[in-house]
Amino acid sequence: MRLVYIWVICLLISFNSGQIFAQEIPVAANKIIYDLYFKWDRNINCSDISDFSQMNTHRGEVELALLCKALQLGGISPEIQLQQVPNYSRALVEAKSGNVLMPAETVWRNEINEALFFVSNPIFDAGTVELGIYALANNTEIMQVKTSAELKEFVCASSENWYEDWAVLQQIGITAYSVATQNLMFKMVSKGRADFVLSEFSSEENFAIEIEGITLIPVPNIKINMDNSRHFVISKKAADAEKIYQALQKGLKQLRADGTINSAFYQSGFMSPKVKDWQVIN
């Protein structure tokens, strides 16, 4: 009886001490996020990441770090298993089918089917995502653009599967070529087959973004505002989906309350006070 009593007491203590359980988290990520993730210092637990200033190449890298931190706070020690996919759209397809638990990056709200996914609280509220018009620094003509009417004279490299971006381009009346990945978009601009891409800002002094040796900077003093929210989604077909979702929600609530989410995006430059007064042209 004494042994049973001690075992019960220990069991109660473990439940009340916020014990963390290991959990495999299969995640689909494009090549950029995949490569950036494997540059992380493996000796540092994601819960210890507090400086996001170097995560300025792709928003998805910051989101993956926040995902990891949120799950830790929610009681799960995540063993993230990245599956490389060509792009954002493919990541969403893999999650819909249950081949992975979730995409590495957040998803626009109007692309989410709640019959297939558990949907997190917003990581970006509607209207808080802002994009720059990124071009080569030596493209002096586009660097002088001040209005959407002037921007219509130039060609964009984007993807028709990026529904929000594509809709904005169509709204403005921009000629756009659709390619599969952000890498290819940058290459199109470098070769003169397109003039610009849309991208979140970075934390570099001139907001520069470099991908595969190609550096683009934003047209100064103008920006695009995206009138939609972004959320993490978890496939309802995946194993332990609801348990992981509850842990994620719990952790995200704490990260929102203590300011970590906003801090991460400000440090990385994706939300920048430096462009606060830039003109929204859409």
Strands (E), 128-258: 129-135, 155-158, 175-178, 197-200, 209-211, 214-218, 222-226, 230-231, 233-235
The band of 9, judged by pLDDT with boundaries at 50, 70 and 90, is very low
Q: Which carries the bigger pLDDT value, residue 149 or residue 37? A: 149
Q: What is the pLDDT of residue 2?
A: 34
Name the percent of the chain lying above pLDDT 70.
Answer: 92
Backbone φ, ψ for residue 83 (5° rounding): -110, 120
Beta strand 279-280 pairing with 222-226: parallel
Q: Give me the residue label for tokens 């570099």.
A: 204
DSSP state of 72: H
223, β-bridge pairs = 280
pLDDT at 6: 33
Bridge partners for 28 per DSSP: 83, 103
Give strand pairing partners of 135. 217
Quote the CA–CA distance of 266 and 53 in Å, as a whole number: 8
Q: How many CB atoms lie within 10 A of CB 2?
A: 6
Q: Answer positive or negative: Cα dihedral of 156, 225, 204, 219.
A: positive
pLDDT value for 42: 67
Tell me, what's the pLDDT at 50? 87
pLDDT band at 155 (very low <50, low <70, confident <90, very high): very high
Instruction: Please write the tens of the pLDDT for every residue from 237-246.
Output: 999 999 999 9
Contacts 24+ apart (CB under 8 A), 145-152: 145/219, 145/222, 146/221, 146/222, 146/279, 147/222, 147/281, 148/172, 148/173, 148/281, 148/282, 151/222, 151/281
Read off the pLDDT band of 56 (50, 70, 90): confident
Q: What element of type H or E holds 36?
A: helix 31-37
DSSP at 47: G
pLDDT at 13: 35
For the chain, give the number of residues. 282
Task: Report the mean per-residue pLDDT for the chain.
Answer: 90
The pLDDT of residue 53: 87
Return the number of other C-beta atoms located less than 10 Å from residue 220's C-beta. Answer: 16
Residue 62 has pLDDT above 80, yes or no: yes
Q: How far is CA 85 from the centre of its chain?
A: 15
Q: What Rg do the C-alpha atoms of the chain give, in angstroms?
A: 21
What is the arithmetic mean of pLDDT over 9-23?
Answer: 51
What is the pLDDT at residue 19? 62
- Which residue type sits at 73? L
**Mean pLDDT, residues 129-155 taken together:** 97
Question: What is the pLDDT confidence band of residue 43, given thresholds at 50, 70 and 90?
Answer: low
Is the separation of the CB atoms in 88 and 103 below 8 Å? yes
Residue 102: pLDDT above 60? yes
Give per-residue pLDDT as tens, 187-234.
Answer: 999 999 999 999 999 989 899 999 999 999 999 999 999 999 999 999
Confidence tier at 72 by pLDDT (50, 70, 90): very high
| Secondary structure letter of residue 223 according to DSSP | E
How does residue 1 score in pLDDT terms, banded at 50, 70 and 90?
Answer: very low
d(CA 181, CA 127): 24
Contact (Cβ atoms closer than 8 angstroms) between residue 221 and residue 146: yes
pLDDT at 16: 42
Nearest to 25 by CA among 59, 73, 64: 64
